[in-house]
Amino acid sequence: MKKYISLSVKCPFCGKSLMDGDELLHGEPTIKLNIQTRESRGIIHLCSIYECFDYKTEVALTEKEVVEFVCPHCNKELNTKDVCRICHAPMVSLLLKTGGRVSLCSRTGCANHYVAFEDLSTELQKFYEKYEI
């Protein structure tokens, strides 16, 4: 089986967990967020595995469309002023429960997302211990 890192995130504004243990992708809890497009709004479940881009949503998404991500708890917009270095769409920023943050591109189909740890050595150490990468 492939080794992977499953991310656990919370809202940077209200601090509430964004993890949904009832909706799984690849056997892991998903990241549950509200989204808004030009035509509709709804819920999206993002795969929590780092570098996996799978998601499920009932909202009809157009390829290459920029989506507005909103916290389901406090309704704050999670899109930031940081722009994607690949497609220049706003980046979405979430806090990791272990410290640090994860950023992902708000454009559908763009594979840009990255994790910035506050303390890389301890965070990676934890992952190594847990997942034996």
Window 1-40: contact mask with Zn ion (x via CB under 5 A): ----------x-xx--------------------------
* Alpha helices per DSSP H over the chain: 120-131
> d(Cα 49, Cα 61) in Å, to the nearest integer?
21
Could you say which residues in the range 94-123 bind Zn ion, by CB under 5 A?
105, 107, 110, 112
The region of 48-56, 74-82, 95-103, 118-126 touching Zn ion under the rule CB under 5 A is 74-82
**CB-facing half-sphere around the CA of 110: CA atoms within 13 A:** 23
> d(Cα 13, Cα 79) in Å, to the nearest integer?
12
Does 87 bind Zn ion (CB under 5 A)? Our answer is yes
- Residue 51 to residues 5, 6, 59, 81, Cα–Cα distance (Å): 9, 10, 22, 22
Q: How far is the CB of 106 from Zn ion (least distance, A)?
A: 8
What does the binding site for Zn ion look like in residue numbers (CB under 5 A)? Answer: 11, 13-14, 71, 73-74, 84, 86-87, 89, 105, 107, 110, 112
